[in-house]
Every structure is written in structure tokens, then in C-alpha cells.
């Protein structure tokens, strides 16, 4: 069954799991991003981040 799990001939397959607290924090952040408040806030940021490269292209390097 080794050939189904890893390409290594000698080393075992390694599986890395996130810490429970880290996983919970990621899940909470994902849920927060589903709210209308977060989407409105991020829309402002997306607009600004799109404007900066546009300005650099028009005015040249900093």
C-alpha cells in the first residue's frame, strides 16, 4: 500500500495537522467574511488596492 500513500521508498508519509485553536480561528474568520459588514469594508479596501497599481502604471515607478 506504500505506493498509494507516498513516492518515497524508505520514508513514511507525513501528515501535518493544524492546532485546534488555529483551526477554530480560521473557521471563525471565514464565517466573519460571510457578513454584509465585512463585505462592505472589504469593498473599500479592494477599491484602494486597485487604484494604487493603476496610479503607478500611469505615473511611473515611485
Q: Is the pTM of this model over 0.75?
A: no
Q: Say how far apart CA 31 and CA 56 lie, in whole Å.
A: 34
Contact partners, residue 39, CB within 8 Å, separation at least 6: 33
Distance of CA 24 to the CA centre of its chain: 15
The per-residue pLDDT for range 10-41, each reduced to its tens digit, is 888 787 877 889 889 999 999 999 999 989 88
Q: How far is CA 4 from CA 1, 8, 9, 17, 22, in A?
A: 5, 11, 12, 20, 30
Amino acid at each position: 500500500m506504500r505506493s498509494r500513500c507516498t513516492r518515497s521508498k524508505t520514508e513514511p508519509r507525513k501528515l501535518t495537522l493544524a492546532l485546534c485553536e488555529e483551526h477554530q480561528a480560521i473557521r471563525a474568520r471565514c464565517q466573519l467574511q460571510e457578513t454584509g459588514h465585512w463585505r462592505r469594508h472589504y469593498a473599500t479596501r479592494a477599491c484602494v488596492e486597485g487604484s494604487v497599481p493603476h496610479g503607478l502604471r500611469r505615473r511611473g515607478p515611485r
